[in-house]
Amino acid sequence: MDILSDIVPSQRETGSACREALRQQVREFFRQGAGEAREVVSLSEPVDIQDPLLWLVSQSPAEKSYWSSRRRVYQQACIGVADIQSSAAPIAPTSLTTTLRALDFLPGGRYVGGMRFDPSVASDDRWGSYGTYRFILPRVEVRKTPAGTRVRLHVLPGRDTEADVLSVLDQLCFHEEKQTFPASFPALSHRIDAPERSTWEATVQRVLKEIRSSELEKLVLARLATFEFSGSLDAMHVLYRLREATSRCFHYAILPREGPSFIGATPELLFSQRGRTIRSEAVAGTRPRSADKVEDEALGRALLESEKDQREHAFVRDRIEAALKPHTSRLSVQSTPTVMELANKRHLHSRIEGFLHPSVDKWDLLGALHPTPAVGGTPTDRAVKDIRAHEPVDRGWYAGPVGWVEDGDATFGVGIRCGLVQGKRLALYSGAGIVEGSDPASEWEEIEHKIRDFIDVLGLDSTQS
């Protein structure tokens, strides 16, 4: 339930005015009697915050998260925990949809979070604080849309007291961080690849043999590059620079109170549901960008003309179409892919849009679409089994769904182009789609291109990457 002020944003220009207006709303709410309703109450005020990410930096240490759409048309920055739905217990793929649908999400609240790529396997120590799935209803959020920016304070009737809620307000900063980030990051000490190159390329060769001799058509093989620095990294600083360099991506950050921070800039939307409308997309097939215009145009043509990349893309597009058809009364699939051009790379891209049957919800869609062949392979069950056999590191939330859910709506990106930041360490996860015709050396270089956004914003020399 939203309780919205009718005061226009220009009348709430100062943080102190916004804080006092929310105080009045809190007092009035509890004066009238909070009741026992199982519905989130959002006390909301317009606020003069230009960059929700910098607002988040300004806050005291706490559970934090951030999500933004492409080109920052929509942004959401969250702090604190009003409610949490999480578990570390593995979930069989066949019961994933049922398990998630049974969670006690409170109506009226937007929960931010995600889940593991493979929920049937327990987390390793690196991903321990994330669990199998983790969705947080933040205590406070700043949400920026084309209609304006509002701060929302979430109150749970029957659980929260007036004193508790007012205490949260007292601790909040109502302006963006005025100090700038440092001009540079700590120096790189060393890099560790898991597996190292020769082992990874040998694994690709084994996968190619499997493709030729079995039902396996495509396998996305991932690896981990861990960078150690001379000093601690600030995850929000890394994300801020990454966001500036990758405007055409979705940006996300999950920062638990304890443990590493998960940040990324994904080019890939898993799905977006608004009522009965569904949007998804196929993103597969990769080429780098070039600073030279002529060479860059040639690389774009080569991607469109590549039989291998077109075939890899078709696996993804056809699988998404097949997954959505049973859930939709109308489905439109772009038959000829176009090129999605990002800062340092480009991908083949196809739009997919449809209208859902009345009985279908977001958990049906998540269960049907994850994992796509863009991050798993084809056929899905065989690919996931082979990933467990071939990859020496736990993917954790890499390539899993990350985003938000709210009543009948949801948006999930695919958690790729990502890293875990903890202390002096940055662990980058990325993968390459192996199909007939793949070359192991070229696939290694493709992953290097995929992690280049991080490499560039950290100011590392190309020979170090």
Cβ distance 367 to 401 under 8 Å?
no
| Helical (H) or strand (E) element with 241 | helix 235-245
Q: For 431-461, give the DSSP string.
A: EEEEETT--HHHHHHHHHHHTHHHHHHTT--
Handedness of CA 147, 148, 149, 155 (dihedral sign): negative
| Residue 50 token pair | 């230009």
**428: Cα separation from own chain's centroid:** 14
Query: Is position 218 annotated as part of the catalytic site?
Result: yes
Instruction: Give the E-state strand segments of 289-408 in sequence order.
Output: 328-333, 338-341, 345-356, 377-378, 401-406
Catalytic residue among 64, 144, 218, 362: 218
Place of tokens 């043509």: 301
User: Token pair 């948006």 is at which residue?
Assistant: 411
Q: Is 45 helix (H, G, I), strand (E, B) or coil?
A: strand
Strand pairing of 111-115 and 401-406?
Answer: antiparallel
Catalytic residue among 45, 141, 268, 312: 268
Sign, CA dihedral 188-190-193-198, equals: positive
Please indicate whether residue 268 is annotated as part of the active site: yes
Torsion angles phi and psi, residue 400, rounded to 5: -90, 170
For residues 65 and 78, give the distance between their C-alpha atoms in angstroms, rounded to a whole number: 5
Q: Would you please indicate which residues are annotated as catalytic (active-site) residues?
A: 218, 268
